[in-house]
Amino acid sequence: MLVASGEGLSSFGGFLGAVVGAALFLRRHRARLGGRAWRYVDAIAHALPFGWTVGRFGSFLAFDHPGKVTTFFLGQQYTDGFIRHNLPSR
């Protein structure tokens, strides 16, 4: 399913929206951009990993993804008292 609330694929909705928005922008401004359209694509490709890292770090600090219970040293203690991986897992 492409759009599924609560299925652990929230980043994909953002990626899909960004791709659609970029495609519409480039299509609308193609004549004005000429051959410079790839500069926009390069800027997005360069900025994407940094933006995703900042967003993922924010989720980590907010305890947004309580995963499975663990004894691993990088686990975080949640309010329920269990130490869990802070990532979506099933």
Q: Write out the chain in H/E/C secondary structure.
A: CCCCCCCCCHHHHHHHHHHHHHHHHHHHCHHHHHHHHHHHHHHHHHHHHHHHHHHHHHHHHCCCCEEEECCCCCCEECCCCCEEEECCCC
Terminal Cα-to-Cα distance of the chain (whole angstroms):
17
Query: Which residue in this structure is represented by tokens 């997005």?
Result: 44
Higher pLDDT, 17 or 5: 17
Residue ranges of domains in the chain: 10-65
Of 29-33, 52-56, 59-63, minimum mean pLDDT range: 29-33
pTM: 0.56
